[in-house]
Amino acid sequence: MKILAIDTSGQNCSVAIIDEEKVICDFNLSIGTTHSETLLPMIDEVCKTSKIDLSEVDVLACGIGPGSFTGLRIGIATIKGFALAQNKNVIGVPTLDALAYNIANFDGLICSVLDARNNNVYAGIYKYENDKVILQDDYITENLDTLIDILKSKNEKVMFVGDGAVSFKEKFRETLNEKALFAPLHLNNQLSSSVAKAA
């Protein structure tokens, strides 16, 4: 099965095609242009480069937020247009779930966290089990201190991923000490390959 996935929920614009065994093609751009200018050319280029026509794709997947309202509208409208034109099924993937898929085989908690401004966060706490990330509790849309209190109560090491991992790195280190670990910088972007894996 081939999946074409996009993510436009953040500053990174991302398009990928994967199958059950591998990432076939994966393009990411974070150059400050709007997704409305880059998304369609990127989809076209991914299809050309991989020599896979859109008609050969089995399923379409899209990051559905939380994230930039304008970016999400562009991505969802684009994927819906392709789905209608090609009569394809679409899978919507929460951005926090996809971010957790950026971290593979971690033995501890994975905390996808997005900076919602004013010391607030969007977050999800996951465990990696049997090649899947499993959400451990409800999504968290609270202030940063609430998230930290929840993580302290779990008393496990935590791998942070997402732009909130960068924004609040010092606070996480200060409050969770050696239990706070951080994804490499390039994994903090929303990635379409992870949207496809989650789908």
Strand partners, 190: none
C-alpha span between 72 and 65 (Å, rounded):
7
C-alpha span between 110 and 128 (Å, rounded):
8
Strand partners, 82: none
Strands 109-115 and 140-143: unpaired
Say whether pLDDT at 32 is over 80.
no
CA angle 130, 134, 136 (to 5 degrees): 140
C-alpha span between 177 and 180 (Å, rounded):
6
pTM: 0.95
Give 128-187 pLDDT, tens digit per residue.
999 999 999 999 999 999 999 999 999 999 999 999 999 999 999 999 999 999 999 999
In this prediction, residue 20 has a pLDDT band, given cuts at 50, 70 and 90, of very high
Mean pLDDT of 27-35: 89
Give 68-120 pLDDT, tens digit per residue.
999 999 999 999 999 999 999 999 999 999 999 999 889 999 999 999 999 99
